[in-house]
C-alpha cells in the first residue's frame, strides 16, 4: 500500500496515540481555465512520475488512498506542497478529496505559486484567501490536544516564522503538555542565525532584518523549550532524521512516491 516511515516516541502517556503524516503530494493538474499551464503541468507530472520510479498510482490516487488509511489514526497531519502550483483544477481536486475528512494542514512553498520555481511573499498575499478557502483550519497555525500530546501544525514554507506564530507557540507551551510540531521545512542550527535569512531580493523573497530576527528567535525557542519533543517535516522528498539541538527532526518522503509517516506515541 504505502512505504511507511515508522516513528516511535515515548512520553509516558496513559493511552497510546497514533498520528499519520502526509507531505509533498505535488498534484499537478490544470484545465482550460489555466490553459497557459497545460504544457507545464504535463512536464511536472512527468518529473514526479520519474522521481517516484514509475509508481502504479498518481499523486491524486495516493492522496485518496492515504485519506482513507487515515481513518486508522487519531490525527492526520499534512505538511505542505499538497499541490505543485496554484490552479483551479488542483484546488478543486484537493477540496473534493479532503471534504468531510479530519486533518490538520500547513502550507509549503508550492501552495501559492502559479508556476513552480516562482515564489514570493506577494504571490502568497495575493492568493491566500483563495487557497485558504479550500482547507479546514488555519494554513499558518493550528493546534490540537490528542491523548495528552499537544500537536501543532505551523507554516514555515518560505523558511520564515512570524511574531504571531511566536506568541501562539508560547501560548501552547503554557498548556504544559509535551509538544510534537509539524511544519514543511526541516529545522537546523543555522536557522537560529538571523544572517541565514537574507534571501535573493530578485525573487521577491528578500527577508527584512526584522523578519530575520523574528524567525531566528522562533527557531531558538523551538530548540530551547523542553516541551518541544520532536519535529516532523517534508520538503526533501525522502525520509531522513536530523539532530536539531538534541531533538529529533524527522523528514518524511513525498506522498507522490507513496511514502507516509506513521507516528506511535506512548
Each residue of 107-166: pLDDT tens digit?
A: 999 999 888 877 888 889 999 999 999 999 999 999 999 999 999 999 999 999 999 999
Mean pLDDT across the stretch 54-71? 96
Grid cell listed for 121: 511573499
Cα 41 from Cα 246, distance rounded (Å): 41
Cα 53 from Cα 217, distance rounded (Å): 40
Element spanning 200, H or E? none
Taking alpha carbons only, the member of 183, 109, 111 closest to residue 143 is 183
**pLDDT of residue 203 exceeding 90:** no
**All domains of the chain in start order, with CATH:** 3-265 (3.30.750.180)
Whether residue 104 contacts residue 142, with contact meaning beta carbons closer than 8 Å, is answered with yes
pLDDT, mean over the chain: 95
How many Cα atoms sit within 13 Å of 152 on the Cβ side? 27
Residue 189 gets which letter from DSSP?
G
Whether residue 261 contacts residue 5, with contact meaning beta carbons closer than 8 Å, is answered with yes
Residue that wins the pLDDT comparison between 205 and 167: 167
What order do you get walking across the sheet with 228-233 strand by strand? 141-146, 149-154, 179-182, 228-233, 247-251, 240-244
Whether residue 129 contacts residue 92, with contact meaning beta carbons closer than 8 Å, is answered with no
Grid cell listed for 109: 512553498
Hey, what's the torsion of the CAs at 259, 187, 168, 74, to 10 degrees?
20
Element spanning 118, H or E? none
**pLDDT of residue 56 exceeding 80:** yes
Whether residue 238 contacts residue 24, with contact meaning beta carbons closer than 8 Å, is answered with no
pLDDT in the model for residue 2: 83
What order do you get walking across the sheet with 75-79 strand by strand? 3-9, 259-265, 17-22, 75-79, 104-106
Q: How confident is the model at residue 178 (pLDDT cuts 50, 70, 90)?
A: very high
Each residue of 205-257: pLDDT tens digit?
A: 778 899 999 999 999 999 999 999 999 999 999 999 999 999 999 999 999 99
pLDDT in the model for residue 207: 87
Whether residue 247 contacts residue 228, with contact meaning beta carbons closer than 8 Å, is answered with yes
Whether residue 27 contacts residue 66, with contact meaning beta carbons closer than 8 Å, is answered with no
pLDDT in the model for residue 45: 97
First to last CA, the chain: 25
C-alpha angle 160/8/234, rounded to 5°? 30
Mean pLDDT across the stretch 88-94? 97
Amino acid at each position: 500500500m504505502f512505504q511507511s516511515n515508522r516513528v516511535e516516541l515515548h512520553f509516558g502517556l496513559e493511552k497510546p496515540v497514533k498520528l499519520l503524516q502526509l507531505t509533498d503530494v505535488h498534484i499537478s493538474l490544470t484545465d482550460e481555465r489555466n490553459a497557459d499551464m497545460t504544457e507545464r503541468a504535463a512536464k511536472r507530472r512527468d518529473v514526479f512520475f520519474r522521481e517516484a520510479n514509475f509508481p502504479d498510482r498518481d499523486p491524486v490516487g495516493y492522496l485518496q488512498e492515504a485519506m482513507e488509511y487515515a481513518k486508522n489514526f487519531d490525527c492526520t497531519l499534512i505538511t505542505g506542497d499538497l499541490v505543485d502550483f496554484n490552479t483551479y483544477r488542483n484546488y478543486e481536486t484537493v477540496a473534493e478529496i479532503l471534504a468531510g475528512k479530519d486533518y490538520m494542514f500547513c502550507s509549503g512553498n508550492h501552495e501559492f505559486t502559479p508556476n513552480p520555481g516562482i515564489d514570493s511573499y506577494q504571490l502568497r498575499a495575493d492568493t491566500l484567501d483563495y487557497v485558504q478557502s479550500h482547507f479546514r483550519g488555519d494554513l499558518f497555525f493550528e493546534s490540537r490536544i490528542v491523548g495528552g500530546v499537544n500537536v501543532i501544525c505551523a507554516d514555515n514554507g518560505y523558511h520564515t516564522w512570524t511574531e504571531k506564530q511566536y506568541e501562539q507557540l508560547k501560548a501552547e507551551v503554557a498548556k504544559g503538555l509535551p509538544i510534537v510540531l509539524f511544519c514543511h521545512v526541516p529545522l537546523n542550527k543555522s536557522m537560529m542565525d538571523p544572517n541565514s535569512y537574507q534571501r535573493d531580493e530578485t525573487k521577491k523573497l528578500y527577508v527584512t532584518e526584522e523578519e530575520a530576527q523574528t524567525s531566528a528567535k522562533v527557531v531558538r525557542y523551538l530548540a530551547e523549550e523542553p516541551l518541544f519533543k520532536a519535529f516532523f517535516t517534508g520538503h526533501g522528498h525522502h525520509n531522513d532524521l536530523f539532530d536539531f539541538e538534541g531533538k529529533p527532526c524527522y523528514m518524511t518522503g513525498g506522498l507522490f512516491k507513496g511514502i507516509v509517516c506513521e507516528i506511535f506515541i506512548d
